[in-house]
Amino acid sequence: MMIVRFLFLLHLTAAGASAGEPPRTFTNPIIPGFHPDPSICRVGDDYYMVHSTFEYFPGVPVFHSKDLVNWKQIGHCLTRKSQLNLDKVAASAGIYAPTLRYHDGTFYMVTTAVGSGGNFYVTAANPKGPWSDPVWLDQGGIDPSLFFDDDGTVYYTRHEGMGDGFIAQRTLNLKTGKLEGELRKIWSGTGDIWPEGPHLYKINGTYYLMIAEGGTSYGHMVTIARSDSPWGPFESNPANPILTHRHLKSHPFQALGHPDWVQTPDGWWMVFLGIRPQPAGAFVHHLGRETFLTPVTWKSDGWPVVNGGKPIEAIMPAPNLPEHIFEPAPARDEFDAPEFALEWNFIRNPYERDYSLTARPGRLRLSGSALTINDQDSPAFVGRRQADLECRISACLDFMPAAENEEAGLVIRGNDKNHYTLAVTQRNGRRKVFVRKVLNGQVQQDLNYVDIPDGNVTLNIKCSPLRYEFSCQTGGELIQLASNALTADLSSEKIGGFTGVYIGMYASGNGKPTSSKADFDWYEYNTANEER
């Protein structure tokens, strides 16, 4: 009897809802925060997705889902310096636009390391890793993609040129890891700038080439062409662009583009990036480019239609796939594991001497180096993406600075030259907490140097769509600090680049190594709904 009841409940889950219940919905973006350039593949009932990471390490997070709505990070593709050398690369250089594909029992991730080697691919039998060392391909262009044809030919497709470039293609010999044949131009897009992010597909005997155009900002759009041959000539869809919000200036989602899609038992679904300006229509965003989801249908003439030709909305009908919800990660990281959790990243390749999870068990110890958050290097910093417009970040810090150059605390990082700091330091022999604003590489304000007693101090950052507010707790006292740090000042529109805000822990000696260790007891990330 229990088996019969289980099978009945399983049938209801697979059907999406029982009779009389409203259909399930999902919320866009499906992966919020800085998760740009999504690429997706399906293996049986499992779906995997990867994203760009630019100067952050480890590179290229791998996510897993069974229903396209609920996702869990399971690893990174690039976890070793032998795979990804980010030494002193510029902010927003590094890893661009990966493509993930599965063929004959092997996962392939191909991408571009801008400023550190060019285009390469790595492979794995398990998407969790380990992934192989790179197979280097070429140094021209960006956004490489692989397509495995029925006859065994592997096509290597990428952007060539700059803003007025085109889509180019060669073949790849998997046995040798070498590109073959000359690089051939196959499509220039519809004539807008930056035709990039190409993916080649074969659907019902026809080759489709889907790309992004218009630049990865407010002019972003998705266009598509088709041909009887993978080499073209490609016929542009008369209805291009098939996805864009460039004409909807006040819509809360903007810059939609850089798509990939996947066929499921519930039809075709597209993932793509977008941004959420704050407020809508203000043309400033700080969380970075996020990953969205929408259905795709097919017309009788063989052209795809995205979301029925309608704008992308925040709440949309979910795929009719068995719902699979992963257990959420705890809001608080107690640093009691021997390795960092997957959401943590470093700026470029970390120096191992700066970090320890074992020197003081149950604590993250940072040993501040001479480097600062301003430097185009790898300071003692470990952070995670801000993924919610409203959230609260707190960390418990044990740090007794021995000199005025020493500081440790929390930092909200836009890039090397734009960040806000809430930290502990020493002034005139006294331990103090302060807030600093650095914009365009210049200190705008050092605010609210406040005396605090010895012992642990809890540092708090309250995030809202338009501003950050700072406070700390020590000795049972709550101290309110500056609250005029605007999110817009860390937006891509103000500071440039392609990344979103990170919030993390750091320590620095501001020109020389610290003698004092910064021990973080815990770090907590709560959304507005989770706050008590």
Closest listed residue to residue 279, CA positions, set 321, 259, 239, 251: 251
- Cα-Cα-Cα-Cα dihedral of 414, 418, 424, 427, to 10°? 180
Would the CA dihedral through 309, 313, 317, 323 be positive or negative? positive
d(CA 204, CA 131): 32
d(CA 58, CA 94): 11
d(CA 367, CA 219): 44
3-state secondary structure (DSSP) of residue 184:
strand
Q: Is 37 a catalytic residue?
A: yes
d(CA 329, CA 400): 31
In order of 210, 394, 466, 491, the CA distances from 463 in angstroms are: 37, 11, 8, 14
d(CA 358, CA 340): 11
Structural contact between residues 8 and 243, judged by C-beta atoms closer than 8 angstroms: no
- 55, 160, 196, 406: the catalytic one is 196
The type of residue at 351 is Y
Q: Is 196 a catalytic residue?
A: yes
Would the CA dihedral through 280, 284, 286, 289 be positive or negative? positive
Give CB contacts under 8 A, 24+ apart, made by 203-211: 204/302, 206/302, 207/234, 208/304, 209/157, 209/167, 209/234, 210/259, 210/260, 210/261, 211/167, 211/187
- 37, 67, 333, 489: the catalytic one is 37
Q: Which residues are the active-site residues?
A: 37, 196
